[in-house]
Structure 1
């Protein structure tokens, strides 16, 4: 006698595996232990990228080794706190979405310049003030969100995906600036990691299938050890426990630095809006609400101010983790929260940071390159959902062509002031956003055709029976 399978449906999607149903729901019931691997996967996907910006900025500022180590430790702690705030909002701060926060790459260029010329204290002061301004802007998101039309959000999401492809490729080759970049060892590690992800995803069943990135990272790490690509030298002198350092650098409030950093915060807010749109579109099959967008941007700013208190550069939502969610469909807040716990613990246990930091770049690149492609596909889907009207096609084509094309030729901005160059020359997301907003505001609305369409046989002309009305 055959047994009837317990099949449930929700929102038109059929769930056979109860665990997968829980993972695909923001507040699905799942045990902490069962949820842990999915949160750990998110930490592994963003760990190196979270450390890199603060390490680059600290080096540019010429900070001593002990202070650099403190800032890296603090970066982990702040990323965990920011992720918790996004997952479980406090008042109007936080989106309630499975957003993973980390130190932003968007600020690296400007931050390096300020830290090198005006001092690291001036950077910290600018981050604290600029974050408060972005947080205030986020509270009023429902007033300015109207200019972020579906087609604008769609092209911003698409540009985020394109902007990350170079990051994934650089990691695949061993990390930008690495002495052995593009070596056979790095390419083998990246390929092995990518193949491990694909094989696992093809063979695994049910909810386990969504751990393909974690599996690829583990396999790549194990293969990297005998190849000499994992550096264990820092473990011998690592402390077992250390408190994150508050105000490791005294803030200085320089007006020029504050204005410069605040302008970049506006770009960061745009990226957060795009990440929210990409996440909800890919994983929740809807647009973000005003409350979610407002909370996300507010948290982006206020947690960045907190990051400044701990001596770090600003944080933002991590697009690579949005790509991971788009790839796996895992949106459960409890699952993502286990990753936030790991990040916070890394802020108290330096050896935890060392374990993750020892992950070779090539392994990370092999596991993340497809995730970044998923963000592009999500953007294409959003463009399709916005509709292929002539107006939307024009906005998408113009903004992507100018944004991606011009930033590949950064010298095209040479006649502009240095501040404009620092914001736009290498940031296709910022250029795409500005062009898309201007096009959306300036282009006339589509003409809506009403009435019968009369086509004269044997004639190429088409007569409209009634006047077109503005949509």
Structure 2
């Protein structure tokens, strides 16, 4: 290997390093394949709940790919103060699914579009003004939220491994075989591959798992029939309706989403760059989430936010190069312009994806725990982390505990452990004394006297 090749390989682990196109494409493709199925799943769920047609769903998926690709590029290469400059991949957020499944049947899909437009603009403005409130998000709060994000994704990975929630073949022998085979391919490739190829273990696992799925007849190619080769998303396919109840509900979820974005940004900086995220990066990241979500609504689509799955991939591979992730953004844009390409990627079985994501999501948990460790295990930090995680994760495992609260509270918190963890961590950080260790020390001295 010559010196230039070695330098190019090392640049994969540097944010602004120069790499070749042949290196960028596989790493970009790996990021997109790792999130593609999870990216379009919320659209199917919300569209079905809102009574949209199959053609409408297909159009929304096309729009989602285009806007997510544009949003990812803005995160990578900021415009004005919008964008973080970090290797953040954007996608349709699951955080909003529960509230949309309530609002769609109640007020109609047009009310969802109007609420996303308003809520996105509000989050974008909050992002630009982050310097006035971000001090509330101390390192221990951010570390606890990152850990919660990791734990919240473990069940998502397990559900994918089983074949996808609601699947008629969930937990079948075929899904177990595909998930296990894919996971083994990832692990073995990571062990035996040389040089930077080790970091392509997820891509290798996805490809081998897909081939195995085709052999086992687990890939449904029917969705490719009649798919257009090229088409452009339509502006305002759904006329926005501004319902105050829908706007309030969705704006609250945007605030929850902003906390997840803070966690994602912190985790990326810690796991990929071995440092804390700067105020500018966090502010730009939140602003991008909001304004890109507002743009998404113009195309009739759902909110586009930072994708935690890809944070796990960065934590696992340590590949943070903006040009490598940018290649993935270009692939998403192509999927939005060439529907056939997007439909082909969508045939990737859930079980194959699940086999790859288990390790990725576990890496987010470990990153969060490492961040907590860097904050120090003072009594105050232990109390904040332990209590917020136990309440957030514990209470959302039994959502009936929220039945005494109004519907809007249940919608926001009952099944969203990240939101509960964030709220409890913020409250504890505000009310707990800064010198919790001082009192026991004084009493010890008195006893000695």
Q: Do the structures match in fold with TM over 0.5?
A: yes
**Match 1:312 to one of 301, 326, 336:** 301
Partners of 2:236 and 2:299 within 8 A in 1: yes
* Number of equivalences: 447
How many angstroms apart in 1 are the aligned matches of 2:332 and 2:142? 30
Indicate the residue corresponding to 2:328 in structure 1: 339
Question: Is 1:60 aligned to residue 49 of structure 2?
Answer: yes
Compute the displacement of 1:305 (Å).
Answer: 0.2
How many angstroms apart in 1 are the aligned matches of 2:53 and 2:378? 56
How many angstroms apart in 2 are the aligned matches of 1:235 and 1:128? 32
Question: Is 1:302 aligned to residue 284 of structure 2?
Answer: no
Indicate the residue corresponding to 2:395 in structure 1: 406
Q: Encode CA deviations 1:60-102: one digit per residue, 9 max, x unaligned.
A: 1111221111111111111101101100100000000000000
How many angstroms apart in 2 are the aligned matches of 1:253 and 1:434? 28
Task: Please give the secondary structure, in 1, of the residue aligned with 2:84.
Answer: coil
How many angstroms apart in 1 are the aligned matches of 2:28 and 2:382? 38
Larger Cα Rg: Structure 1 or Structure 2?
1
Compute the displacement of 1:447 (Å).
Answer: 5.1
Structure 1 residues 276 and 465, CA, compared in 2 at 3 Å: closer, same or farther? farther
Question: Is 1:370 aligned to residue 359 of structure 2?
Answer: yes
Q: Which range is displaced more, 18-27 or 168-177?
A: 18-27
Indicate the residue corresponding to 1:100 in structure 2: 89
Indicate the residue corresponding to 1:463 in structure 2: 445
Indicate the residue corresponding to 2:26 in structure 1: 37
Task: Please give the secondary structure, in 1, of the residue aligned with 2:91.
Answer: strand
**Match 1:136 to one of 107, 125, 133:** 125
**Match 2:425 to one of 415, 436, 443:** 436
Compute the displacement of 1:232 (Å).
Answer: 1.1
Indicate the residue corresponding to 1:389 in structure 2: 378
How many angstroms apart in 1 are the aligned matches of 2:66 and 2:84? 19
Task: Please give the secondary structure, in 1, of the residue aligned with 2:177.
Answer: helix
**TM-score scaled to structure 1, two decimals?**
0.92
**Match 1:201 to one of 164, 170, 190:** 190
Indicate the residue corresponding to 1:321 in structure 2: 310
**TM-score scaled to structure 2, two decimals?**
0.97
Indicate the residue corresponding to 1:232 in structure 2: 221
Question: Is 1:425 aligned to residue 425 of structure 2?
Answer: no
CA RMSD of aligned residues (A): 2.0
Task: Please give the secondary structure, in 2, of the residue aligned with 1:248.
Answer: coil
Indicate the residue corresponding to 2:77 in structure 1: 88
Compute the displacement of 1:205 (Å).
Answer: 1.2
Indicate the residue corresponding to 1:265 in structure 2: 254
Task: Please give the secondary structure, in 1, of the residue aligned with 2:228.
Answer: coil
Compute the displacement of 1:245 (Å).
Answer: 1.4
**Match 2:12 to one of 23, 26, 46:** 23
How many angstroms apart in 2 are the aligned matches of 1:107 and 1:179? 25
How many angstroms apart in 1 are the aligned matches of 2:417 and 2:446? 41
Indicate the residue corresponding to 1:173 in structure 2: 162
Q: Could you say which structure has the higher helix fraction?
A: 2
Partners of 1:175 and 1:181 within 8 A in 2: yes
How many angstroms apart in 2 are the aligned matches of 1:355 and 1:303? 25
**Structure 2: unaligned runs, 5 residues or longer:** none
**Match 2:206 to one of 211, 214, 217:** 217
**Match 1:79 to one of 68, 72, 87:** 68
